[in-house]
Chains A and B, each alone.
With several copies, the nearest count.
Chain A
Amino acid sequence: MSDCRPEELLAATLADQIPDVRHIAVGAASPIPAAAALLKQARARDRVHVTILHSRRYNSFTDGGRELFDAAAQGRIDVFFLGGVQIDGEANINLVGLGDYPNLTQRFPGCFGAPYMAFVVPNVILFREEHSTRTLVKKVDFVSAPGWSPEGVWRRGGPKALVTGLAVMPFDASRRRFRLASVHPGHTAEDVREATGFDFDMPASVPTTPVPDLSTLGLLRGPIADKLREFYPDFADRVFPVPA
């Protein structure tokens, strides 16, 4: 681990959550998911299309702002990443604010496309670096996008897993519950329990999240860092500094 930066571990771990698919899309301001999508693409046997909204090179939409959502509705986007100021134990996410809406004590930007993408994209991966009882709560103050839907409500997809700075937690929508699948190196399952505001399934033995191997690190630090430099120059320079 000494040789692996946290962002590299997270990108590789996110990439491991991505099934074999045709099209991975990454929303705004998401450098680590972008790195994960490009890593998945680089390691895939078949052709994988990656859309990174922040990029010019990785964004071939030509039908206006609605095209991301229409393409997702058509089933053409297999994987999307969502964050949350708060995420709760039923995989509901809050992007709006803290307090009793509309009487908020803190205001965040807003829902963006989350209430829609969480329904139409088969594999939604939740990603939030900060793993604390402040971010992972029993019940979100505002449900921007629900983690599950009652029977009879049309829903193609939804959250499949949550990746944080501490752990990997798959989500079972039928049981409305997360499970601790692995803990990142340097932390324990007990650390995760203490830092999590909701209940989740904890197996008797929890493995350590594998660190990226040399070949993965080579991809991240080489071709993927070069690609990220186009649209996330600050991130790329910080995480993948060009050797002097």
Chain B
Amino acid sequence: MSSTFSPIPLDDLVAQVRDGMLLAVPADYSGAPMAATRALIRRGAKNLRLVTVPQSTLQADILIGAGCVSEIETAAVTLGEFGTAPCFTRAVLAKKIKVVDATCPAIHAGFQASEKDVPFLPLRGILGSDLLKHRSDWKTVDNPMASGNDPLLLIPAIRPDVALFHAPMADREGNIWIGRRRELATIAHASKTTLVTVERLYDGSFFDDEKMAAGALPAFYVNAVAVAERGAAPVGLFGEYEADIDHLRAYAKEARTEAGFAAYLAREIGAAKAAA
């Protein structure tokens, strides 16, 4: 990428996530794009199909609670030590969203298949799990490389319309520093469009220093960057800040009721809950 890179405003960035798109987001340990999520909710995004890589916490829960999500493929949605994810749980039981239950390695494999542009990746294990009963897109075949009976699961490629995540830095060429959170590279490789929010700009090129280059995602995978200070909060950001435990604990309690979640939405995000 040449010197023509420049970040865009956050609202312009999230405008590229259009209603109905398949949206990939990372787990809370690898750059949850919370500022962008709040902006998405404020703009009233609808019918997003979410795929979490491989699980999600607060981000999926508030997107679901705000009525932005019609479907979610996930290995788990939870608030971790603060309990089950209240909006997710409520929406599933009320059948307001469709859950496509998965397991972590299958989601990773689906992204790797897309990264290589192959229709599937084989995966060991999982056979006999009830997941398979509800995943007609997963296919069990007899291992074509073996002579005998050797059932093997094939996981189809997952190709999101857009990937959205938060990272510590973008450099002046638009490269993103992701450190050892390499699933972010895989997510970007696998997605048609990649949108990134960053804490700050880095004055120079990561590629001028092999130590920084080792943690860089090249700019040519990235379609747009917006600066969002503390853009992962109240979730933590690797190497930058810890999760705001008090916020998450309070959320877990407040969002237990619809009314409580609506109050949270209005106060913390400045958004009214979308009509159901």
Contact = CB atoms under 8 A, between A and B. Distances in A.
B193 interface: no
B104 A74 contact: no
Output the residue of A76, A106, A111, A115 with the most chain B CB within 10 A: A115
B55 interface: yes
A74 B84 CA distance: 32
Interface stretch (B34-42, B43-51, B119-127, B225-233): B119-127
A75 interface: yes
Contacts of B182: 62-64
The B interface, classified by DSSP as helix, strand, loop or mixed, is: mixed
B219 interface: yes
The A interface, classified by DSSP as helix, strand, loop or mixed, is: loop
Interface stretch (A142-150, A171-179, A204-212, A219-227): A142-150
Contact of A152 (B101, B151, B186, B220): B151
B220 A76 contact: yes
Nearest to B105: A69
A113 B185 contact: no
B211 interface: no
A69 B186 CA distance: 14
B183 A64 contact: yes
A219 to B, nearest CB: 15
B85 A111 contact: no
Contacts of B217: 62
A195 interface: no
A79 to B, nearest CB: 14
A118 interface: yes
B102 A111 contact: yes
Contact of B104 (A22, A113, A155): A113
Interface in B176-199: 180-186, 189-190
Contact of B213 (A62, A110, A145, A152): A62
A152 B30 contact: no
Contacts of A56: 207
Interface string A76-105: 100000000000000000011100011011
Interface in A192-212: none
A145 B129 contact: yes
A22 B219 CA distance: 12
A239 B55 CA distance: 29
Interface in A112-135: 112-120
Contacts of B92: 97, 104, 107
Contact of B103 (A106, A115, A142, A154): A115
Nearest to B98: A102
A70 B116 contact: yes
Output the residue of A70, A97, A105, A153 with the most chain B CB within 10 A: A70
A-B pairs, top 8 by smallest CB distance, nearest first, are A119-B125, A110-B76, A64-B182, A109-B78, A146-B128, A64-B183, A73-B117, A66-B108
Interface of A: 22-23, 28-29, 47, 49, 56-57, 60-66, 69-71, 73-76, 95-97, 101-102, 104-120, 142-146, 149-150, 152-155, 234
